[in-house]
Amino acid sequence: MQDKIRQIVAEAREALEKADNTAALEALRVQFQGKKGSLTQLLRGMGQLSPEERPQMGALINAARESIGAMIDERRGALRAAEREMQLARETIDVTEPRPFPKTGTMHPLYKVQDEMIDVFTGMGFDVAEGPEVELDTFNFELLNLPKNHPARDAQDTFYIEDNMVLRTHTSPVQARTMQTRKPPFRIVCPGRVYRADEVDATHSPVFHQMEGLAIDRDVSMCDLKGTLDAFVKSVFGEDMQTRFRPSFFPFTEPSAEVDMSCMACHGKGCRVCKGTGWIEVLGCGMVNPKVLDMNGIDSNVYSGFAFGIGLERIAMLKYGVNDMRLFYEGDTRFLEQFR
């Protein structure tokens, strides 16, 4: 029986050395130490021994059991460490490996133009002012010399919210608000969304953007207006651009003018873009109507001023050669990514 025990221990040692993973090791543990294992079988066979031999044999079997247990534990420790090594090697991440760049958003062309224009005007001493998009009829029309039933109101297809409340049809109401809250001299530009009940097409949208300008001081003249807007056109479209001022009409300015710049497509020679004239219309402007100054609490005997209104979509279309305004609103990334 002693030989048998020694043989089992030797077998176990040999088998354990060959076990190369923890699963195989567990199978061996069952084989040698489990309920049906070889040592357990020997213990069962002890009934045939004499009472003197039994304790001696029992002690031997238990010692064998313990030594096999110790070998298993040792082997398990070694295998676990090796398996962990392998797992770490397999899951190593190479943090230096190059990868494709993630897609990032881009500045929207309209706001790019808006920012550039703000830069130009703040460079000439203008502040940025803002006003509400839901506006009182009073500010949107009345205080700009557009009384109720004035024919010029029809030119702007207004969205009414209530009798005396509209979605602003232009950024000009910020003029009235600023005149009422600030003491001259001041110069402001007001960028923002405006609304008109227009059908959508390549050059119309019920929501679009304008930038209003207003400068009030003593002795402001048409010269200041022309110099300011000429500098604006040259900054945004290039130093070689020319401007010309054509007489026009707006109720809030007197005199009023429309500004053309030389066609950026043909540099004034005449082409399809400018319909052969060499000129492109860019904005409306004028000297603030003295009536408007007085209605808004500024003494027209002391102060004068100029104002202008610029359509942002128009400037962006001309600057980037975009021929359909809808592209600005559709959010197609193939279009937008070109302004990166």
Task: Give the footprint of ligand DAH on this chain (CB under 6 A).
Answer: 170, 172, 212, 250, 253, 284-286, 307-309
User: In the bound complex, what is the minimum distance in angstroms from residue 181's beta carbon to ligand DAH?
Assistant: 17
User: In the bound complex, what is the minimum distance in angstroms from residue 270's beta carbon to ligand DAH?
Assistant: 27
User: In the bound complex, what is the minimum distance in angstroms from residue 332's beta carbon to ligand DAH?
Assistant: 28
Residues 6+ apart with CB under 8 A from 23: none
Distance, in Å, from the CA atom of 129 to the CA atom of 66, rounded to the nearest integer, reads: 89
**Whose Cβ is closer to ligand DAH: residue 69's or residue 290's?**
290
**Whose Cβ is closer to ligand DAH: residue 125's or residue 238's?**
125
Q: Between helices 312-320 and 222-237, what is the axis angle to 10°? A: 40
**Whose Cβ is closer to ligand DAH: residue 72's or residue 287's?**
287
User: In the bound complex, what is the minimum distance in angstroms from residue 192's beta carbon to ligand DAH?
Assistant: 12
Distance, in Å, from the CA atom of 202 to the CA atom of 257, rounded to the nearest integer, reads: 25
H or E element that contains 255: strand 253-262
User: In the bound complex, what is the minimum distance in angstroms from residue 284's beta carbon to ligand DAH?
Assistant: 3
**Whose Cβ is closer to ligand DAH: residue 141's or residue 279's?**
141
What is the CB-side half-sphere exposure of residue 34 using CA atoms within 13 A?
9
**Whose Cβ is closer to ligand DAH: residue 264's or residue 285's?**
285
User: In the bound complex, what is the minimum distance in angstroms from residue 307's beta carbon to ligand DAH?
Assistant: 4
**Whose Cβ is closer to ligand DAH: residue 143's or residue 307's?**
307
Query: 93-103 burial by CB neighbour count: b if 16+ within 10 A, else e?
Result: eeeeeeeeeee
Cis peptide before 151 (omega within 30 of 0): no
User: In the bound complex, what is the minimum distance in angstroms from residue 156's beta carbon to ligand DAH?
Assistant: 7
Contact 139, 177 (CB under 8 A): yes
Nearest-5° Cα angle at 190, 189 to 193? 150
CA 95 from chain center: how many Å? Answer: 27
DSSP code of 318? H
Distance, in Å, from the CA atom of 74 to the CA atom of 68, rounded to the nearest integer, reads: 10
Contact 167, 161 (CB under 8 A): yes
Determine the residue with CB nearest ligand DAH. Answer: 309
**Whose Cβ is closer to ligand DAH: residue 192's or residue 284's?**
284
Contact 209, 191 (CB under 8 A): yes
